[in-house]
Amino acid sequence: MTAFTARWHRSIREIPEHHWRDLAGDDVMPFYRWGWLEALEASGSVVPQQGWQPLHLALWRDESPVAVAPLYLKGHSYGEFVFDQSFARLAADLGLRYYPKLLGMSPVSPVLGYRFYLREGEDHQQLTRVLIQTIDRFCEQNGILSCNFLYVDPAWRPLAEAAGCAAWLNQQSLWSRGSDSSFEDYLQGFNANQRRNIKRERKAVAKAGLTVTPLTGEQLDLELLQIMHGFYEQHCAQWGAWGSKYLEQEFFEALATPQHREQVVLFSAHRGDPRQPVAMSLCVRDQTNLWGRYWGTREEIDCLHFEVCYYAPIQWAIEHGIDHFDPGAGGSHKRRRGFVARPHASLHRWYQPQMNELIRAWLPQVNRLTLQEIDAINAELPFKAETPTLAL
């Protein structure tokens, strides 16, 4: 392999977009596109002042990168949705400083798919190993306790584990279309009692005089995304200090540009003009997947959240041939509405020997318990479903 140079980049703008696209590919999921990550930085949503220091690592050969690892130096654990409080407590018990930590994920987006982006035709195992060795040196030289890759792409996971990363399993929800060709097909998958419940919940929204209209592509503009930001801000404010408000209005405005709007679907609940919504949710899509992200409402209406965040997106996904819908983090109520529990892996490295030894000894047991819990959850679902698989 021809020699290359490792460089740390404090902004994604230091890596030209065409180079990022050459490595990630045109079909990379929306959350890892250069424009998405750049919008997070440019909007002030993901910046050092918010506890997110972009610190992307690239291996350069001459004037072109052959590999890139999207990374951030984090001063807290907010916006990750993989809850590592037990690690932080252990660090405190050992007299260690837990923050800052090095993190690999798409910021504030708990979506499965993190990986290193490696040039086709290169030795991917060697590139992965070199990137991780470079990360190790950086962390050890700077007194950083851990490096953490969250929501890891199952296809990339074996390369990282071969380089010495330890896997920690958590769970999230997923709806899969299967053979459904209509919303009625989706309903038929449930037992009779839950089928009645879903119909009742949808009727409650209709009785409130609301219609839900999906808006995407050229239907989206700056005004609509500003309205969506208002709903997002209002919803977060309801939870006070725990409101998890991470994104600035400028990020939502960036989603109205032609570069992004084809990947955005807004679900507007309205009584007249869809551009005058009572409630709205924002989803992100590619050709085969839909991801639920944010929602908000001006009125408290029974079952409106279920309609705008679950049923309308599922109906839209079926009509558009989308295979999977990830509704976002949290919420046991998802299980009764067609979502199956599935495991997802995060990969970790710890740079203090005692902490590394203690956590690695603990992980096999906790991972077994997580898989048992997922099996128990899926055994009680009110519908027939095949459990999504993840290479373990």
pLDDT recorded at residue 331: 66
pLDDT (average), residues 217-226? 97
pLDDT (average), residues 297-315? 96
The mean of the pLDDT values for the chain is 94
pLDDT recorded at residue 121: 95
pLDDT category at 390 given cuts 50, 70, 90 is very low
pLDDT tens column, 144-172: 999 999 999 999 999 999 999 999 999 99
Percentage of residues of the chain with pLDDT beyond 70: 96
State the sign of the Cα–Cα–Cα–Cα dihedral 163, 68, 326, 292: positive
Name the CATH superfamily for 179-322. Answer: Gcn5-related N-acetyltransferase (GNAT) (3.40.630.30)
pLDDT recorded at residue 391: 38
pLDDT recorded at residue 385: 58
pLDDT recorded at residue 243: 59
d(CA 116, CA 165): 14
Query: Which class would CATH give 5-171+343-379?
Result: alpha beta
pLDDT category at 2 given cuts 50, 70, 90 is low
| pLDDT above 60 (res 45) | yes
d(CA 308, CA 212): 7
pLDDT recorded at residue 3: 85
pTM: 0.94
pLDDT recorded at residue 198: 96
pLDDT tens column, 12-31: 999 999 999 999 999 999 99
pLDDT tens column, 246-256: 999 999 999 99
pLDDT (average), residues 72-89? 94
- The structure tokens listed for 169 are 């399993």
- The structure tokens listed for 309 are 């965040």
| pLDDT above 50 (res 392) | no
pLDDT (average), residues 362-369? 97
pLDDT recorded at residue 335: 82
φ, ψ at 291 (rounded to 5°): -125, 125
Side-chain-side CA neighbours of 161 within 13 Å: the count stands at 15
Are 5-171+343-379 and 179-322 the same fold in CATH? yes
| pLDDT above 80 (res 314) | yes
| pLDDT above 70 (res 386) | no
Domains of the chain, residue spans:
5-171+343-379, 179-322
Instruction: Measure the CA dihedral 283/264/254/306, to 10°.
Output: -20
pLDDT category at 334 given cuts 50, 70, 90 is confident
